[in-house]
Every structure is written in structure tokens, then in C-alpha cells.
Structure 1
Amino acid sequence: MRFIIAIAVVLAFVSCTNKAEIEINSVKITPVFMDSLSIRAIHPLDENRVWFAANKGKVGLIDGDTPKLAVIKYADSLLHFRSIAATTEAVFVLSIANPAVLYKIGFNGTEATNIEEVYNEIGPEVFYDSMKFWNDDEGIAVGDLIGDCLSVIVTRDGGNSWEKLPCEMLPKVEKGEVAFAASNSNIAIYGDNAWVATGGKKSRVMHTADRGKTWKVYDTPIASGKAMTGIFSIDFRDENNGIVIGGNWEQKSDNSKNKAITTNGGKSWKLIADGEEPGYKSSVKYIPGTAGQGIVAVGSPGISFSGDGGKSWKELSKEAFFAIEFVNDSVAFASGNNRIAKLLFK
């Protein structure tokens, strides 16, 4: 059964100095899948279809009103998935914790054709957080600190095999610096670039401009120092302009030093709306086609919107979600506890 929450969104363009400011006044939320799951990783295909990966070993494709589901077991265990990514011919899901197991799911455009294990890593400190693809051949997944670097694995053959990058290739990180597995969005991809956001001991952004071959790391002003503070989500609209968001998961109302933007590809970051709403958020996305003016952020406290590139925000809904992914400038999917919903912007 579907339930309609809230009312239609009003979208208007208000002239400003150089760019069109976006105005959204409300949101229409239509749950399209409900189950007793924690769903932190989604990948939309179009306005009616969305892949997801969740806990209890469950992955699936929501195709309109039809959920096509599978339960993946590793030995006798039900894995907990928080990472998902896709190429033209396959979908990939990666589990957190020990063991980390990455599966390739063949997809013919309508149905899953086969499931195969393509990577496995065992160890007490193993914990993978997110995954993205640059193109149909090359992809990346990132996990927490082992030794003195984050765990980074890459594929160059369409996901058939994955290689872990040695720490010598990666920036050094401090003990307690982590990559949060909150929404499969602490990696952002644009062109040949990837940006990886961290939190905990330090809130920084790692950057590669050559699909993982070389790396640099940059400081941010986002709050850090505690286990659950830092950057939870990052998004870029082009190779220069990006946004990070997060905060303090243990004090979600804290809205200080939890939002920042860059205009130089991540080399430097400037706080925005500091000390103003919203507080903690776990996923942030630019609205396509709005020249970086329209931004939506979701988290357990609700849905917030900025129409001026992050300078000011307002709450659209108190409905809780972990992750949001846009299909186009008027449709997004969001996931959270026990559900996936379609968010319609008019």
C-alpha cells in the first residue's frame, strides 16, 4: 500500500544578482517500498525504478509497484550492505564490517541475471563505507583506517576484479579518523575526480584527479575531534564546486561548523550557514539543472532545502531519511528505516 505524505512542492525561480534562486515550499513524499530494514544505499535507474542494498542480506530492485528482492548469505551469515554502485550491465553491493564481501549482480535492464562474489577482505578492522564508479570500467570503494591510511579498493575491468591500494599511494590519516557509512555518499565523483570525506578525529577531504592513481588531502573547517563528528556526505556539481555536510550524530541539533562549500575543487572550504539550521545531516545533493543553487539534505531529523547555494536553509519535512539520490530536477528517491520513498518536486 502507498501513502501520500505532505503536499505538492512549489518550485519557483526568483531573480538575484547573477543566478536564479530556487524556491521550494513543501514536498510530496510517496513511499514505494516498506520492509523492516535499515536502507542506507540506493541507486535510481529512472523515475520508476531504484536499486537498494540494506541489512539482513537484502538487496533489490523496486520496479514501479513491484519489488524484486534477493537475500544474499555469506556462509551462514546475513551481511549488512551500505554501499551500492552500478555500471551499464551490472550492480555492485558491498558489505560493512568483517568480512567485507563485494558482489556483482548482472543486470539485463529488466532482471538480475546472476550474482557473483568479486572481492573479499577479512580482518578485525575491516569496515567499508561507500562505493562509486567513474565509468563502466573503473570504480572505487572506501573503508575505514587500517594501518595509517583509509582502505581504498579500485577496479579497472568493470568490477570483475578489485585491488586494494597500498598505503604508500594514499594520504596518511590519524588514528580515529574515519569514513562514515551513513548514506553511501562520503565519495563524490565528477569526471576523472573522486573526493572522499572523513570525520572523527579530523574532518578532511581526500582528492584524486586521475581515478585513484595519485591523491592529495585537504583540511576542512567542519567540526571534528569526537567519534561521531565530521563530514557525513559530500557532493560536487562540477570539478570545482562542491559541498560537505555532517555535524555531530550524538547531538543532532548542533548546527555549528557542519556545512561548507568549495569553489576550487576541494583545496579550501568555507563554512556556510554556520550556527544556523540545519543541524546534523547524513546525505546532501545538488538539485540537477539549478546551477548549484538548489540543494537538498536529509537526515534522521528531517529534510532541509537551500535555494541559494547553501547560504540559507529551511526545513521541508520532519520525515527521517538516511540517503537521497536525484533522478532529475524534479524527482528523487530517499531511503531510511523500513522504507524507500519517492520525493516529487514540482
Structure 2
Amino acid sequence: MKKILFFALLLWTISCKNEPKVIELEAVQVDSRIDIAIEINDIMSDTIRIRALDYANGDYWFSGSDGQYGRIEEATGHIEKFKVTLKEDQSIEFRSIATTELYTYLLSAGNPALIYKIAQSNNVVKLIYTEVEEGVFYDSMKFWNDQEGIAFGDPIEKCLSVLKTLDGGTTWKKVDCAHLPKFIEGEAAFAASNSNIAIYKDHVWLATGGAAARILHSTDRGSSWEEYATPIVAGGMMTGIYAIDFINEKRGVMIGGDWNKKADNLHNKAITSDGGKSWKLMDAKNGPGYCSDIIFIPETDGKELLAVGSEGIWWSGTEGVLWKKLTDIGFYTVRMVNSKEGYLAGRNKVSKFKLY
């Protein structure tokens, strides 16, 4: 089904008398698109929840609940779906996916934690990691290349779980608690969109939630770490940072909020220009409340952002200064490989979209 929505870039605010006021944008306009439209085409309807998307070699890969995953040929839209089933008929939920030049990796959420390695050339699937422990729950996974990868999860014992491989997943090793920033009781992470890890060259950033909303940052692919405070709302079980994205070692963006108060857009989105050491909150008068994913739109030099959540999709052409809601249709996660096209995934669906 096709859905087309158009808007002019105007910001609506509410005055003290609760009367709408239109504010012109000339003072903040940057070299970006000033009018935008989104066209959404649902290409797959299913019973699964899809929270993870990635892209490699002309294919979008997705993973979700009930052990299901698949790939979409970008050129043709052809979809292949697959399923992993445990012998004991236990349901698997894949909330994390990572693609490299040759392989696709799937990571399950919950106990047991399972990582599968899929050869993209012939679809051969191999179980390469198993972790059975009460409380284990991984939230996100990324790979720098075919050999080096990292996964991030909720705390076990006295620190957050950070898992690394240097040999393409043949072996995995947890980062010792002594090498991570001091754990804050009640801090965890969210497996909402496979987006609370960001990597760029040797850098990796991890985003937390719950009792604290912090960034853990490494400049050497996870060998050493430092921590940064953020202004994102924290203190509740469902508060904190849900997604981050970086376009270089300095410029990054984050979004989250309170899942229980999705309309609240105060203290839920911020941007950094120093690698995450400091963050500037985006104006709460406009823009999205709770969202599960955010990206810098490719080929726009960081000026354009797309935020996605269960309450809809928002676009900014002013580096997050001003936002416009594109649609009320909700999704969990988004990926784009150019400035015009990409895929969205959510509950029971995958959709292709275009920006005009």
C-alpha cells in the first residue's frame, strides 16, 4: 500500500494563549532541502516484530522475533525469509544484526544469548557463540570488518556486558569489568532498534538508559573506555538513550526519552560536535518525543536527520534545530544508503520509502 505525505517547512508553536503561531525559518535555514515528502510502500507483512536492519553488498538484512530473519535485494525488491529453530522448540528473538563484506551476524535477546554467522554467498548458517546465564540480555551488535565486532548488553554481576571478537566470531571475549567505567546500579540498555552502538573507524560509542543515560566511548575499538554524562532523561526503568548515530569521530546525535510518556519531547534528543564529551539538547518546542531510532541522512553532510518511533517519523533539515512530522505511521528502525531511499521496519512489517 502506498502512502504519500507532503509538507512545507514551517514550525507550529503554541503561544501563552494556546493560539497557533507560524514562525518563518529564514533565520535558521541551512543548505538543505526546505520542502520534503515521504512515500512509503509496504513490501512485507508478517506476524513478526522487526527491530534490526543493516545493509551490505546491495542487500538490506532484517531480523526479528520467532527466530526469523531475511534479506531484501535493493535493486529488485526481492525478499528472502529464513528461520532459526532451537531443538527444544524455544523461541528466539533476534534484536541485533550486523553485516560485513562476506557475512551477516545475528544476536538473540535474552537467555540463552546466541550469535549466528551467515555466509552471504550461500546462506550457510553457523552457531558461533552461546552464553547461558540468568539475566543475560544483549541489545546491539556492530562489526568494523569481517574480523572485528562488538556486542553490548545489560549488566551481569558488576558491569555492563561488552562482548568482542577479533577473528570473525570464532571466539568472543567479554571486556573485564575492571576495564569499563564504574557501573551505576539500575543502568542498562535498550534493544529497541539495534542502535545503541555507533562505530566510526577505531571509535565506538555505547548508549545506556534506566538509572543513567550515559555514553561509553572507546577510541581503540573497545580496549579502553571513558564515560560521558548526557542531558537525556534518566531515572526510570524505560528512560534513557535508545539510539545514537555518528557521521565522523566528532559529530553525533542521540534520541530516546521515556517509553511510558511517549509525547514528552523534553530532554530526549541531543547533538554533539566533540565526540560525545558534551551534548546540546534540541529544542523541546518542536520535534519528536520518544523515538527508538535516529540517523544522519546520508549525503547531506549531517544537516538532515530522520527520527523513527512507534508514534511516527520526523525529519529535520536544520541539524535538529527544527523538525517536521512526516507521518503518524510507526516503525522501530530505519536504514538509508543515500539521501532519497531506505527501508523501515517495525511491528509486522517492512516498508520501502523515498524522500522527495
Deviates more, 1:274-283 or 1:260-269: 274-283
What 5-or-longer segments of structure 1 have no aligned partner? none
From 156, 163, 172, the equivalent of 2:166 is 156
From 39, 62, 67, the equivalent of 2:50 is 39
CA displacement at 1:289 relative to structure 2: 1.4
The 1:337–1:46 alpha-carbon spacing in structure 2 relative to 1, beyond 3 Å, is farther
Deviations 1:163-214 (A, max 9, x none): 1111111112212111100000000111110101011100000000100100
Aligned residue runs from structure 1 range 104-253, under 5 A: 104-108=117-121, 111-112=122-123, 114-253=124-263
CA distance in 2, matches of 1:19, 1:312: 11
Deviations 1:126-164 (A, max 9, x none): 000000112222110100011221101111112222211
Q: Secondary structure at the match of 1:168?
A: helix
CA displacement at 1:24 relative to structure 2: 4.2
Question: Residue 9 of structure 1 contacts residue 26 of structure 1 at CA under 8 Å; is this kept in 2?
Answer: yes
Q: Secondary structure at the match of 2:37?
A: coil
AA in 1 matched with 2:2? I
Question: Residue 24 of structure 1 contacts residue 305 of structure 1 at CA under 8 Å; is this kept in 2?
Answer: no
CA distance in 1, matches of 2:340, 2:353: 8
Q: With the length of structure 1 as denominator, give the TM-score of the two structures.
A: 0.93
CA distance in 1, matches of 2:301, 2:46: 36
CA distance in 2, matches of 1:277, 1:10: 15
CA displacement at 1:257 relative to structure 2: 0.3
In structure 1, the partner of 2:304 is: 294
CA distance in 1, matches of 2:257, 2:57: 31
The 1:35–1:18 alpha-carbon spacing in structure 2 relative to 1, beyond 3 Å, is closer
Q: Secondary structure at the match of 1:329?
A: coil
In structure 2, the partner of 1:342 is: 352
Deviates more, 1:302-311 or 1:74-83: 74-83
CA displacement at 1:9 relative to structure 2: 8.7
CA distance in 2, matches of 1:213, 1:166: 10
CA distance in 1, matches of 2:78, 2:299: 30
Question: Residue 9 of structure 1 contacts residue 344 of structure 1 at CA under 8 Å; is this kept in 2?
Answer: no
Question: Residue 9 of structure 1 contacts residue 28 of structure 1 at CA under 8 Å; is this kept in 2?
Answer: no
Q: Structure 1 residue 51 and structure 2 residue 61: aligned?
A: yes
Of structures 1 and 2, the larger Rg is shown by 2
In structure 1, the partner of 2:103 is: 90
The 1:24–1:168 alpha-carbon spacing in structure 2 relative to 1, beyond 3 Å, is farther
CA distance in 2, matches of 1:193, 1:18: 31
Q: Secondary structure at the match of 2:178?
A: helix
The 1:9–1:237 alpha-carbon spacing in structure 2 relative to 1, beyond 3 Å, is farther
Question: Residue 57 of structure 2 contacts residue 101 of structure 2 at CA under 8 Å; is this kept in 1?
Answer: no
What 5-or-longer segments of structure 2 have no aligned partner? 10-24
Q: Secondary structure at the match of 1:123?
A: coil
Q: Secondary structure at the match of 1:97?
A: coil
Question: Residue 46 of structure 1 contacts residue 327 of structure 1 at CA under 8 Å; is this kept in 2?
Answer: no
Q: With the length of structure 2 as denominator, give the TM-score of the two structures.
A: 0.91
**Aligned residues with identical type, % of pairs:** 43
